[in-house]
Structure 1
Amino acid sequence: MDSGTLKRHADEFLERNFDMPLGVPLRISSRMKSRLGAFQVKYIRGGDVKTEIVMSHEFIVHNSEEAILDVLYHECVHYALYTQDKPYRDSDALFISTLDRLGISRTRTYAYKGRSHLYECRRCRYRFSKNIKGYEKRYICRKCRGKFSYVGELSPEHL
């Protein structure tokens, strides 16, 4: 699914449920690994505000269209409520009730499916996986303070 298709779905959803178009950029990020999607509000020097919806490339590649659209619609609800100056954060009661009314999943409903990397401690042989590459260069083992080595990439079928 490409950004044009996602934008079309978002526009249709917002027109149908909030009587408004998508007025912010929709971007697919290959760097986003820990979140599936996000509505971002950035405050820029000078009082300007930049908003956008960002979707994870890994999430889009490894999940069903139904799951992708559910996350997209979740982010669209954030956007719509923000635009209307209403409470739009995940913990806000209005946001939660709006999701429930529209039949959209809440945050952390979907598990990460995508590329993952396996690491092992050289000293105590503790193994774990992370969604980022290069972990062994920045961290040490909390059990024995040993260094990590990169074992390899795990495919989504092994997770």
Structure 2
Amino acid sequence: MTEQELQKYVEDLSIQFFGRPFLHKAIFNPRLKTTGGRYHLTDHHLDFNPYMLAQHGEDVFMGIVKHELCHYHLHLTGQGHRHRDPAFKALLAKTGGLRYAPASASAANYRYQCQSCQTLFERRKRIDTNRYVCGKCKGPLIKIGNNEKSQAPK
């Protein structure tokens, strides 16, 4: 999905589910890693994590867009737009938006497996298999490979 397609997609969802136009900018922000999207209070634009669309599909991404549009429309109408506000929770339930973004793919770069109990361990940093053992059974660990980081479409 391109930036122009994203803009049109957000505008269409805004009219369809909220009955109000989306008049600001919607963009992909690849720097977002742990969140699905972000609403900016100052200039009212929306950022979306492109990895969420690539990893979880359009249904989940639609829920994320609805979530951010709830923040957008409630803030612009002067109602409670924060996660804890009853107005936000009610509008989110009414439109079918996601309360939480799903966990993104693992950020682990290294994979290890216990030779005794076969438990898998994923780590961001390399570990010394001569020094560390399995936390469950104290068995020896072996490196089984590196994870490939998923790449979102540009």
- Common fold by TM > 0.5: yes
Change (3 A) 1:155 1:13: same
Aligned residues: 125
Task: Give, as a single letter, the amino acid of the residue that structure 1 aligns with 2:46.
Answer: I
Question: Higher strand proportion, which one?
Answer: 1
| RMSD of Structure 2 on Structure 1 (CA) | 2.6
CA distance in 2, matches of 1:116, 1:74: 28
| 1:93-127 deviation per Cα after TM superposition (whole angstroms, max 9, x unaligned) | 1100111112222124x12136653213559659x
SS of match in other structure, 2:84:
coil
Q: Secondary structure at the match of 2:33?
A: coil
Considering only CA atoms, is the larger Rg found in Structure 1 or Structure 2? 2
1:122-141 paired onto structure 2 within 5 Å:
125=132
Partner letter of residue 39 of structure 1?
A: Y
Q: Confirm whether residue 113 of structure 1 aligns to residue 119 of structure 2.
A: no
The letter for the 1-side match of 2:74 is: L
Q: Does 1:6 align with 2:12?
A: no
State how far apart, in whole Å, the 2-side matches of 1:11 and 1:153 are. Answer: 37
Letter in 1 for 2:73: A
Please, what TM-score do these two structures have when normalized by structure 2? 0.68
**TM superposition score normalised by structure 1:** 0.66
Show the counterpart of 2:45: 52
Query: What residue in structure 1 maps to residue 112 of structure 2?
Result: none
| Aligned counterpart, 1:65 | 58
